[in-house]
Structure 1
Amino acid sequence: MRCPFCGYSDSKVLDSRPADDGHSIRRRRECQDCGKRFTTYEKIEVLPLMVVKKNGQRESFDPNKLLVGLIKACEKRPIAMEKLEAIVRDIEKELLNTMEREVTSEKIGELVMDRLQQLDAVAYVRFASVYREFKDLQTFMHELESLLKKTITEK
């Protein structure tokens, strides 16, 4: 850290403590050359996660949008809100851990469907019908049949 008084490039840290509700670190430093003291703040740089939509448009990832979609899919189902919030946190964490700065909406949809399939079959079918944009009864029935086959093999 360069001294703001003399420009010397080496300083000694005298004190470190959390600042800004734990979102940054306040450090009290002393210049090794001139002996003057100064304060620095360190913040974690978080790059926004961008979602690439089907039409090519990009927007920031919004966990609240994901939660709203889950709530709609799970409407009138015996699923606690805490479980839906946990799914959102889990998906967001998984996406951030990939270290990719852009993710497709298709990838997010598949992650949601994987979790809903394990949680509730009705919510899964509701979400899949909107996400996969079933055009006719045949494609809807095909999805139901594959879900039934998977359920039978797991038992």
Structure 2
Amino acid sequence: MKCPFCSNQDTQVKDSRPSEDGRVIRRRRGCPKCDRRFTTFERFQIQQVFVIKNDGRRELFEPEKLTRCLLIALGKRPVTKQTVSNIIAEIEQSLSEEGKTEIRSEEIGDLVLEKLKNVDFVGYIRYASVYNEFDNLDDFYKLVGKLEQ
């Protein structure tokens, strides 16, 4: 790995630790030339998955985009960023295990809602209101009624 400070090609791994979920390895590296340290993260690369949008367009699946949406839905809620990361990792793992190369945006929305249902009721409703394009208060009442059953 090339040193980001002096471009030396000969860096050394000083410490390696897996993340809590075991999907990412954090490595502390040192450069013998400039004596500086830096951190790298190693994670598996899932097969490229394309999301088929409602209008038929195909976009590359971007976990970061989904993370932003979840953080908005869970804003000011007692849910940690680690929990959001775990949700995204579980969805990525699900896509990887199924070996899908394409998935409809509705399917991703359903996966997210299934995860949110067990994490935060208010966040679930917020996400569902955007995902399902609620037009009026009756849509909210129907969702809450369905969840209470």
Scaled to the shorter chain, the TM-score interval is 0.5 to 0.7
Q: Number of residues paired by the alignment?
A: 106
**What is the one-letter code of the residue matched to 2:84?**
L
Map 1:31-110; keep pairs closer than 5 Å: 47-110=47-110
Task: Give me the whole-angstrom Cα distance separating, in 1, the residues matched to 2:125 and 2:46.
Answer: 35
TM-score (structure 2 length as normaliser)? 0.68
Distance 1:135 1:94, change over 3 A: same
1:48, CA displacement in angstroms?
Answer: 1.2
Q: CA RMSD in A?
A: 1.6
Structure 1 alignment gaps of length 5 or more:
1-43, 150-155
Runs of 4+ in structure 1 displaced over 6 angstroms?
none
**What is the one-letter code of the residue matched to 1:101?**
T
Match of 1:41?
A: none
Distance 1:101 1:131, change over 3 A: same
Q: Is the aligned partner of 1:111 residue 2:78?
A: no
Task: Give me the whole-angstrom Cα distance separating, in 1, the residues matched to 2:144 and 2:72.
Answer: 19
The answer as to whether partners of 2:47 and 2:96 remain within 8 angstroms in 1 is: no
The answer as to whether partners of 2:46 and 2:96 remain within 8 angstroms in 1 is: no
The answer as to whether partners of 2:67 and 2:84 remain within 8 angstroms in 1 is: yes
TM-score (structure 1 length as normaliser)? 0.65
Task: Give me the whole-angstrom Cα distance separating, in 2, the residues matched to 1:77 and 1:45.
Answer: 31
Match of 2:139?
A: 139
Distance 1:80 1:101, change over 3 A: same
Task: Give me the whole-angstrom Cα distance separating, in 2, the residues matched to 1:143 and 1:78.
Answer: 22
Q: Percent identity?
A: 37
Larger Rg: 1
1:43-100 deviation line (CA, Å, top 9, x unaligned): x996411000111100100000010011001000011110100100100110111112
Task: Give me the whole-angstrom Cα distance separating, in 1, the residues matched to 2:122 and 2:82.
Answer: 18
